[in-house]
């Protein structure tokens, strides 16, 4: 069977898997596949069923990441890894993360149908808990696999259950005691490269009329989940000069950050920030009370490590200036970071060439989001990322990936794997 014919035959199977994933995660108004819980487990079971159909080797590590390996003729040769994740944000969409695992499985299944025999192992990974919403730290599964998960992360509590990460890993059959900095959990042997596919977060490909992008880079980020501003509660009629208004201090910080973003954008320096939480304590504060405390979160990101560090310094300067001007104190709380993930230039070219051979139009595009691939890039593994056209962004119920575009990613992976041997 030819590769195009095999890919065409594979499309209904990929669609059926996506439909089943939607059923597993159904949680009106969208999809919720909780990390380290029954729904993520069920998604892994779907992938294992496909692996068993293809005769792939199935392995789980101590963090319960899943590895599905097509054995190569030379088991000592550096393997090619592909993968992504199955967990979602709460009430998100069906495709963020899951599309990458489904595309990788479709590529391998199509190659298998053609009679192709890989020279080296090909491993598909489904990493646990990529989304930061569950434990306040993102990319947990790939961090654990690469031996870079902070030890304190095992004591973090999941946002909805209150149970620790260690408890959740153990409940899923893992071994939290084996997860520690410096201890890699990946399948043994060298890795030739790591490839991921993911829906795009902004409708750039919709705008361009192109189904697929070859990612040029993945931003690093700095995150604070709870920055607390402490001022002084007061009566609503208190004159401005006497106030230590924590909410106004928060507004000042938000406005200053937006001005910084506009300045950076005008200078051609790509960055982004998001303040996802921005609130007084509604159980304490009233319509006639000047709020003496205020909480907000921040996710600050950029594509270059030095640029990200400079932005963080500017952010700290904004906090200090606001605290002095408003007469408040600011506790930054815990800081988390994800590394900048440069996409390998050689892999960018090879993926673009593979897409062209399969008749898939592509364009270069930076990813605005963090991905498991960034951890591999930061660890020195050559890394490539495909972005799949998606009309409505991600982390929302309206994610809108067409299966034909998913199969364009699968075709690109399949052509790359075939030509890589």
The residue extents of the domains of the chain are: 3-219+340-420, 220-338
pLDDT computed for residue 398 by the predictor: 93
| C-alpha dist (Å) from residue 249 to 195, 228, 280 | 43, 11, 12
- What pTM value is reported for the model? 0.89
pLDDT computed for residue 304 by the predictor: 93
Radius of gyration of the chain (CA): 23
What the block records as the tokens of 49 is 């069923």
Separation between Cα atoms, residue 360 and residue 366, nearest integer Å: 19
Pairing of strands 212-215, 362-365: parallel
Question: At the topology level of CATH, where does 220-338 sit?
Answer: Alpha-Beta Plaits (3.30.70)
Separation between Cα atoms, residue 108 and residue 124, nearest integer Å: 9
| C-alpha dist (Å) from residue 128 to 80, 131, 383 | 19, 9, 19
- Phi-psi category of 393—alpha, beta or left, where left has phi over 0 and alpha has psi -120 to 50? left
What is the tens place of the pLDDT at every residue in 355-383?
999 999 999 999 988 899 999 999 999 99
Pairing of strands 122-127, 79-85: parallel
Kindly give the parts of the chain with pLDDT less than 70.
none
pLDDT computed for residue 129 by the predictor: 98
User: ∠386-399-4 over CA atoms, to 5°?
Assistant: 45
Of 277, 333, 84, 33, which is closest to residue 195 (Cα–Cα)?
84
What is the tens place of the pLDDT at every residue in 198-216?
999 889 999 999 999 999 9
Separation between Cα atoms, residue 234 and residue 152, nearest integer Å: 38
Q: What number of H helices and E strands is found in the chain?
A: 11, 20
Answer yes or no: are the C-beta atoms of 338 and 303 closer than 8 Å. Answer: no
pLDDT computed for residue 368 by the predictor: 87
Strands (E), 66-121: 66-70, 79-85
Separation between Cα atoms, residue 238 and residue 397, nearest integer Å: 44
Domain spanning 3-219+340-420: CATH superfamily: Zn peptidases (3.40.630.10)
């Amino acid at each position: 069977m030819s590769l195009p014919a095999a890919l065409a035959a594979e499309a209904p199977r990929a669609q059926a898997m996506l439909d089943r994933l939607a059923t597993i995660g159904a949680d009106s108004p969208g999809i919720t596949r909780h990390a380290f819980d029954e729904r993520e487990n069920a998604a892994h079971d779907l992938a294992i069923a496909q692996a068993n159909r293809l005769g792939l080797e199935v392995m789980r590590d101590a963090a319960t990441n899943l590895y599905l390996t097509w054995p190569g003729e030379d088991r000592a040769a550096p393997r090619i890894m592909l993968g992504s994740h199955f967990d979602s944000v709460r009430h998100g969409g069906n495709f963020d993360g899951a599309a990458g695992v489904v595309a990788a499985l479709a590529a391998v299944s199509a190659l298998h149908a053609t009679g192709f025999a890989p020279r080296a192992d090909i491993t598909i990974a489904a990493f646990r808990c990529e989304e930061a919403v569950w434990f306040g730290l993102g990319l947990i599964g790939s961090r654990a696999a690469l031996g870079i998960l902070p030890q304190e992360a095992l004591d973090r509590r999941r946002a909805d259950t209150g149970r620790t990460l260690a408890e959740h890993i153990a409940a899923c059959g893992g071994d939290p005691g084996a997860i520690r900095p410096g201890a890699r959990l990946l399948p043994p042997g060298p890795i030739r490269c790591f490839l991921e596919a993911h829906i795009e977060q902004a409708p750039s490909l919709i705008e361009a009329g192109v189904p697929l992008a070859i990612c040029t880079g993945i931003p690093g980020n700095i995150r604070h989940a709870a920055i607390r501003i402490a001022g002084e509660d007061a009566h609503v009629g208190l004159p401005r000069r006497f106030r230590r208004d924590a909410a106004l201090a928060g507004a000042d910080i938000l406005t200053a950050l937006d001005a910084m973003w506009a300045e950076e954008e005008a200078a051609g320096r790509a960055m982004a920030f998001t303040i996802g939480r921005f609130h007084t304590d509604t159980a304490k504060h009233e319509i006639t009370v000047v709020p003496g405390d205020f909480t907000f979160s921040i996710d600050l990101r950029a594509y270059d490590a030095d640029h990200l560090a400079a932005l963080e310094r500017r952010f700290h300067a904004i906090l200090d200036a606001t605290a002095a001007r408003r007469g408040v104190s600011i506790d930054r709380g815990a800081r988390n970071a994800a590394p900048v993930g440069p996409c390998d230039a050689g892999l960018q070219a090879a993926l673009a060439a593979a897409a062209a051979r399969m008749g898939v139009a592509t364009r270069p595009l930076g990813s605005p989001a963090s991905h498991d691939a960034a951890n591999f890039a930061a660890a020195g593994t050559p890394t490539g990322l495909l972005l799949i056209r998606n009309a409505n962004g991600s982390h929302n119920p309206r994610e809108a990936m067409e299966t034909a575009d998913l199969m364009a990613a699968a075709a690109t992976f399949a052509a790359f794997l075939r030509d890589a041997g």
